[in-house]
């Protein structure tokens, strides 16, 4: 089933959106992320995508208690990413009720560790492919890897990864539409489910992504800015 997944990005305890992943281009939408989570749930969301931006940048998650509060208070699955780089924290989050943990930097920099995580946690692990000019970005999108995204993804599948979250950084937060060709190309080369993210700004964008064959679409700024109403794009 195709899922439309609202994004909740956490920075210093607030619900924010960044432009193209730039920490100096932040818009605060709420000082109460839990209220936002409940709002999306009440409007019919079947899953939430929560990212600890502090953790993504520093490798030390700062918003774990807020994440736990969201997981505790909503009844829908919550997938979480941002600075999650060790087995203990993955285990803690899953034990608490997080449905799926998304790894980024670890997947690029420590493939052997990724393999261990996949062996232990199976499809509870997803990998974020954050693409910039065909290369993978890490550490909160601040650094660009030498690895191209397809090589990285194909290696990750060999290590046991069974799902990707694919984001075009240049489109993220810009409301200019996704890079459909880039997403189509990625999906066609990868034999596991892909969730698309970045730039979604209309119901038509969602329809196109569905046609391409992605498993779901993460929507952020378009929801917060009122460009899309969640209840009009749910399937």
List, by residue number, the catalytic residues: 9, 130
* Cα 85 to Cα 104: distance, rounded to the nearest angstrom: 8
- Orientation of helix 111-121 relative to helix 149-158, angle to 10°: 50
Type and span of the H or E element at 204: helix 203-212
* Cα 140 to Cα 41: distance, rounded to the nearest angstrom: 27
User: How many Å separate Cα 31 from the centre of its chain?
Assistant: 21
H-helix segments, 59-145? 64-73, 87-96, 105-109, 111-121
In the structure encoding, which two tokens stand for residue 126, read together?
């997803």
> How far apart, in Å, are the Cα atoms of 192 and each of 7, 30, 105, 153, 186?
22, 35, 20, 10, 11
> How far apart, in Å, are the Cα atoms of 196 and each of 147, 156, 167, 172?
20, 17, 6, 11
What's the half-sphere exposure (Cβ side, CA atoms, 13 Å) at 235?
13
Task: Judge contact between 143 and 137, C-beta under 8 A.
Answer: yes
């Amino acid at each position: 089933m195709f899922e439309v997944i609202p994004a909740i990005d956490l920075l210093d305890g607030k619900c924010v959106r960044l432009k193209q992943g730039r920490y100096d281009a932040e818009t605060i939408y709420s000082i109460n992320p839990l209220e936002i989570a409940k709002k999306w749930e009440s409007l019919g969301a079947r899953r939430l995508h929560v990212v600890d931006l502090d953790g993504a940048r520093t490798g030390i998650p700062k918003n774990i208690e807020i994440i736990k509060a969201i997981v505790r208070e909503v009844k829908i699955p919550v997938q979480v990413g941002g600075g999650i780089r060790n087995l203990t924290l993955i285990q803690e989050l899953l034990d608490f009720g997080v449905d799926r943990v998304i790894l980024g930097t670890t997947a690029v920099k420590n493939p052997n560790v990724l393999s261990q995580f996949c062996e232990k946690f199976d499809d509870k692990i997803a990998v974020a492919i954050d693409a910039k000019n065909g290369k993978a970005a890490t550490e909160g999108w601040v650094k660009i890897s030498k690895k191209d995204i397809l090589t990285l993804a194909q290696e990750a599948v060999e290590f046991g990864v069974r799902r990707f979250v694919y984001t075009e950084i240049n489109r993220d937060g810009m409301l200019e539409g996704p890079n459909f060709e880039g997403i189509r190309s990625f999906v066609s080369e990868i034999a596991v489910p892909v969730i698309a993210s970045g730039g979604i700004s209309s119901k038509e964008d969602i329809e196109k992504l569905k046609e391409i064959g992605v498993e779901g679409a993460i929507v952020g700024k378009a929801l917060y800015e009122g460009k899309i109403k969640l209840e009009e794009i749910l399937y």
